[in-house]
Amino acid sequence: MKKVIVGVSGGVDSAVALYLLKEAGYEVEGLFMRNWDSAINNDQEGMALGGEICPQEQDYNDALKVCEQLGVKLHRVDFIKEYWDYVFTYFLEELEKGRTPNPDMLCNRYIKFDLFIKEALKLGADYVATGHYAKYENGKLLRAKDLNKDQTYFLADVKAANFKNVLFPIGNLTKTEVRKIAQEQNLYVAKKKDSTGICFIGERNYQKFVQNYLKPNPGDIINVETKEVIGRHNGLMNYTIGQRRNVGIGGNSERHFVCGKNLKENKLYVTFNEEYLMSDECIIKNLNFISPLRPTFCTAKFRYRGMDYPVELVYQDEDTIQVKFLEKVKAVTPGQACVLYLGEECLGCGFIEQVRKNNQDLWYLS
């Protein structure tokens, strides 16, 4: 009997993955990862509002109850230091550069599909499984059946070799089907809401969280068309390209788009005109290819839940690709991932270094 170690998060997806593998006849054990120490960042809101248990501990308790229901042993491992070193430090460094980081992708690369796998092997695993919506077949990472929940975007930075013995039990199910299985089996988390936001921030105010680590640096907000100062921002790290809400222009009911940053002069540029958000190419670096294919034409996603855009790839060197858009794309953002697809196959990704329009760097204005 093959042994599978399942990453159990305390949510419904991993709980159903655990159930399905046990029903399929595998020897199954769960492994819960603790990646963040809530005690190190108790801001004014706190991690445990009103004296309630913090969300991370609640997740562990939920995972434990599911495992008890299914008669499965649950292990627990701490990756707090590693998460800080490989994921959170990167998050802060990218913010300081005025970019928009994607820490969930780094978490998958360094924690969930590296350190977690090594820990599972210590427990005698033949396979590792997670509750991700994705498929891995014949050496290919493929989109999930439920395209609305597909998570291949977040898996695109995982090293190809680390998928070798990974199972995705819910990749051929829709979220509705997963919920139905959980309810039919009366799993403890059947009605638990999905988690949202960046894992270490959760439901809390993003700007207040960031201010625990990066000192606010207020500056002028500039109308990119008129060059007029129309407000004050509270730190460039708090804004991303295309943002409309909470831009910080008091007394103005019209919504502005964030369309650029000037790090040297600490200025934030905004516009009413969406044309300022359109670009025709980007440069991606820190490449990770899961597939051996290197197509000239494919499609690209520039954000999770974003649409696929047709692109032409110009390979400049081993770690740099010029991505030319066959149609203009809105709000492509430095620091985010550009994930490449050929049909249903996720080829891999690179991280957006520059965004251009008419051969000019678009977002960092002088």
Which one of 107, 259, 282, 346 is the catalytic residue?
Answer: 107
* Res 184: pLDDT: 97
Residue 207 confidence (pLDDT): 76
CA gyration radius for the chain?
22
Q: Directed axis angle between helix 55-70 and helix 12-23, to 10°? A: 20
In sequence order, what are the residues at sequence separation of 6 or more whose Cβ sits closer than 8 angstroms to the Cβ of residue 22? 28, 70, 72
Q: What is the pLDDT of residues 279-322, one digit of tens each?
A: 999 999 999 999 999 999 999 999 998 999 999 999 999 999 99
| 80-134 pLDDT tens trace | 999 999 999 999 999 999 899 999 999 999 999 999 999 999 999 999 999 999 9
Q: Catalytic residue at 259?
A: no
**pLDDT at 346 (0 to 100):** 98
**Which residues in the chain show pLDDT less than 50?**
43-51, 366
SS3 content of the chain, % helix, strand, coil (to 5): 30, 30, 40
Give the C-alpha separation, 316 to 281, whole Å: 14
All residues at 6 or more sequence positions from 81 whose CB lies less than 8 Å from its CB, including other chains: none
Instruction: Please answer whether residues 78 and 27 qualify as being in contact, where contact means their C-beta atoms are separated by less than 8 angstroms.
Output: no
Does residue 339 sit in helix, strand or coil? strand
Q: What is the pLDDT of residue 157?
A: 98
Quick one: pLDDT at residue 358?
86
Ordered structural domains, the chain, with CATH: 3-184 (3.40.50.620), 215-272 (2.30.30.280), 277-361 (2.40.30.10)
Q: What is the H or E stretch that residue 210 is in?
A: helix 206-210
Helix (H, G, I), strand (E, B) or coil at 140: strand
- The dihedral over CA atoms of 102, 105, 107, 109, expressed in degrees to the nearest 10, equals -140
Q: Where are the beta strands (DSSP E) in 57-124?
A: 74-78
- What is this structure's pTM? 0.91
Which residue in 54, 67, 199, 259 is the catalytic one?
199
Annotation says 199 is catalytic: yes
